[in-house]
Amino acid sequence: MVKKKTTISKVAASKKSKASKTIKKNVTPKTANSSTVVKTRILHKANLVLQAVLAAIVLLMVKPVYYALSLSFVTKDALLSESQTVFVPAEKILLDFDVRWLLISMIVVSVVYSALVLSRWRASYERAQAGRVYLWRWVMLAITGAIMVKIAAIVSGVEDIATLKMAGGFMVSAMVFAWLSERQNQKAGTSTTAHYWLSLVSGLAAMSAIFVSLFGTMLYGMIRFPWYVYALDLALLVGFLLVLSNLRRSNKRTGQSNDYEFVERNYVVTVVLAQFVFIAIAIAGFAA
């Protein structure tokens, strides 16, 4: 009788240990050691090195590039206002701004983000890939996107501070709508495109001042901007459209985009390349 009890207790203990092992395996994040996640980590590490090199080049090789930032307003024309007041547009130059510091600030944001997802945010970053939505990526894109829009707008002749702030605000709202689109479509079987289209419209609205300045200058200014101005504007537009294209495929879950680890890797590749091309063009143009 004692032997039977001992045998039963041993069987129960072995079942309990097997169950605890099974629970531990289930608790361990599935994505922690997958090849796609490892490749994503490598991309973030490469981004740290790449951005550090770009920052050194900007600080050591690129001379200060100043643009006059102004405030537009309406005033009275002293010559025409004899019998009645005639209003005319005017502007006041507020400061001469070195665009290099916008490049450095964009690099700093990108470096801090990659460093955090590799260290302090690593666990939550990998868990978020199972949940198919990651807020902090969109926060980083909102900040860097707003900076890129401002750089492209300034070199394209948009120097009004209010317009620059509005362009940056539209880009931030585009990334907010993109995050909402991802969150609304995170569950299988759900499909909504409203926030996606709002994100696209907001992003294009952020670039509208750039397009107006480019075409207005070519039509009425009788001059052409340097090559790097058009290249920066094109790099900004293409990068934005690639990010939204990846978002749309992720929402539809077609092909490999049904795997969010693959989607996240695409985001990292797209953002790293877009930022590298944008900064490289700016360095080549400013240093010429």
User: Tens of pLDDT along 138-149?
Assistant: 999 999 999 999
For residue range 112-166, list pLDDT tens digits in order.
999 999 999 999 998 998 889 999 999 999 999 999 999 999 999 999 999 999 9
Long-range residue pairs from 2-10, CB within 8 A, at least 24 positions apart, any chain = none
Predicted local distance difference test score (pLDDT) of residue 16:
47
> Is residue 97 over pLDDT 70?
yes
- Percent helix, strand and coil across the chain, each rounded to 5? 75, 10, 20
pLDDT top residue among 71 and 212: 212
The share of the chain scoring above pLDDT 70, in percent, equals: 83
84's CB contacts (< 8 A; 6+ apart) are none
Cα separations in angstroms, 172 against 4, 145, 148, 215, 236: 70, 7, 11, 25, 14
- Residue environment code for 43-61, b if the CB has 16+ CB neighbours within 10 A, otherwise e: bbeebeebbeebbeebeee
Average pLDDT over residues 101-112: 96
* Domain ranges for the chain: 35-65+99-287
> Is residue 38 over pLDDT 70?
yes
For residue range 202-221, list pLDDT tens digits in order.
999 999 999 999 988 888 87
Predicted local distance difference test score (pLDDT) of residue 82:
65
CATH architecture of 35-65+99-287: Up-down Bundle (1.20)
Q: CA-CA distance, 51 to 54, in Å (whole number)?
A: 5
Report the 10 Å Cβ neighbour count for 21.
10
